[in-house]
């Protein structure tokens, strides 16, 4: 009797984004109601989320208007999922990707229902957050646990935790960065800014490994370039609110570069898809700031998207997770025990 093909669902996690202008305010509300983002008890968190989302919605609508009215992150993630399916094809298993966005459609509930209907024999959880954080990876995983239980999913689950040093992840950044360096005519007079989304300092001080992993990624990328005397800085963007955030801040580094007459190449080191923080914040807002600050030339490296090295890295992580008896966390060997700290229970 012929052996049946094993169905493996790969769940791709990301934050998501509004798909139309009227989705902006509810998207923001979903973001700020997340206890991983606003760490105060109910009902205060609900009140804060309602107030902040209503206050920020008009500005956010203008940002998304510049992108055609909504975020491109879902179609771009679909492209990544299709590329990943192609990279995993040809073995004994049939792989299918499913998208679980944290703050707007398709939500984890939608992915879980689709996986249930498909009849998956195994589920691989794959965050599109290369560096682990309680505010992104852990939040998405906890939301998945809820959605999977609600859908009655019983298939065994394997989980990828993080991959800030995955060779293919680094190689993909190197390939894209080399292209921009070539367009710039080399690195003389140029500083490279590795820009990641910031976090409040108190989150890091509570044990979140995100900053350490971002800095690992940047150091590995700079080393892989192999350019002697390379001028590079790790910095953080998108800070909001009155809390003290980790630094240095990307906008302040842009101003400093202008005062020193340095041209800039900006690398979105923690974003794997183009979205508002790359297409608007980095390209438009920071591009304008660079011009105002006297930065001679300003370049931005694309997000990874479907760059072949990156897709192959994701495929390798899926295969490694399948073969693992625990949550796949390459960083545990480096002392950043992400999943153990989070107390997640999704392996097995």
Specify the length of the chain in residues: 348
Instruction: Tell me, letter by letter, the H, E, C secondary structure of 264-299.
Output: EEEEECCCCCCCHHHHHHHHHHHHHHHHHCCCCCEE
Helix/strand number for the chain, H first, E second: 13, 8
Take residue 262 and report the two structure tokens written for it: 């340095």
User: 197 labelled as ligand-binding?
Assistant: yes
Q: How far apart are the C-alpha atoms of 185 and 178, rounded to whole Å? A: 10
What separation, in Å, do the N-terminal and C-terminal C-alpha atoms of the chain show?
Answer: 28
Coil, strand or helix at 174:
helix
Annotated ligand binding at 288? The verdict is: no
Q: Residues 238, 198: contact at Cβ < 8 Å?
A: yes
Structure tokens at 209: 């490994």
Q: DSSP secondary structure string, 234-270?
A: EEEE---SSS-B-SSBHHHHHHHHHHTT-EEEEEETT
Buried/exposed code over 137-153 (b: 16+ C-beta within 10 A; e: otherwise): bbbbbbbbbebbeebeb
Structure tokens at 320: 């490694």
For 188, which DSSP code? T
H or E, element range at 159: strand 157-159
ω into residue 27 within 30 of 0, thus cis?
A: no
Taking CA atoms, 162 is separated from 207, 247, 311, 325, 338, in Å, by 16, 22, 15, 16, 8
CB 159 within 8 A of CB 125: yes
Binding residues for Fe(2+): 197, 277
Binding site, by residue number, is: 197, 277
């Amino acid at each position: 009797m012929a052996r049946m093909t094993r169905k493996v669902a790969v769940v791709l996690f990301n934050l998501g984004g509004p798909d139309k202008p009227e989705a902006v305010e509810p998207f923001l509300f979903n973001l700020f109601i997340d206890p991983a983002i606003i760490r105060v008890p109910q009902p205060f968190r609900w009140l804060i989320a309602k107030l902040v989302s209503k206050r920020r919605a008009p500005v956010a609508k203008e940002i998304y208007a510049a992108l055609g009215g909504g975020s491109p992150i879902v179609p771009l993630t679909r492209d990544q999922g299709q590329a990943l399916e192609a990279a995993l094809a040809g073995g004994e298993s049939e792989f299918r990707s499913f998208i679980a966005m944290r703050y707007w459609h398709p939500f984890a509930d939608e992915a879980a229902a689709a996986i249930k209907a498909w009849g998956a024999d195994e589920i691989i959880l794959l965050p599109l957050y290369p560096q682990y954080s309680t505010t992104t990876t852990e939040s998405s995983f906890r939301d998945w646990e809820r959605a999977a239980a609600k859908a009655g999913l019983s298939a065994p689950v394997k989980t990828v935790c993080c991959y800030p040093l995955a060779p293919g992840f680094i190689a993909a950044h190197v390939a894209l960065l080399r292209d921009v360096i070539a367009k710039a005519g080399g690195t003389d007079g140029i500083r490279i800014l590795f820009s990641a989304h910031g976090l409040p300092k108190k989150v890091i001080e509570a044990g979140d490994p995100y900053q350490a992993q971002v800095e690992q990624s940047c150091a590995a990328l700079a080393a892989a370039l192999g350019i002697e005397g390379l001028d590079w800085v790790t910095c953080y963007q998108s800070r909001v609110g009155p809390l003290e955030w980790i630094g240095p801040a990307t906008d302040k580094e842009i101003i400093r570069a202008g005062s020193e007459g340095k041209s800039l190449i900006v690398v979105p080191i923690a974003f794997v898809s183009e979205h508002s923080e790359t297409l608007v914040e980095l390209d438009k807002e920071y591009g304008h700031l660079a011009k105002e600050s006297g930065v001679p030339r300003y370049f931005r490296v694309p997000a990874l998207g479907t760059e072949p090295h990156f897709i192959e890295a994701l495929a390798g992580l899926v295969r490694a997770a399948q073969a693992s008896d625990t949550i796949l966390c390459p960083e545990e060997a480096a002392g950043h025990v992400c999943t153990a700290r989070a107390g997640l229970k999704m392996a097995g």
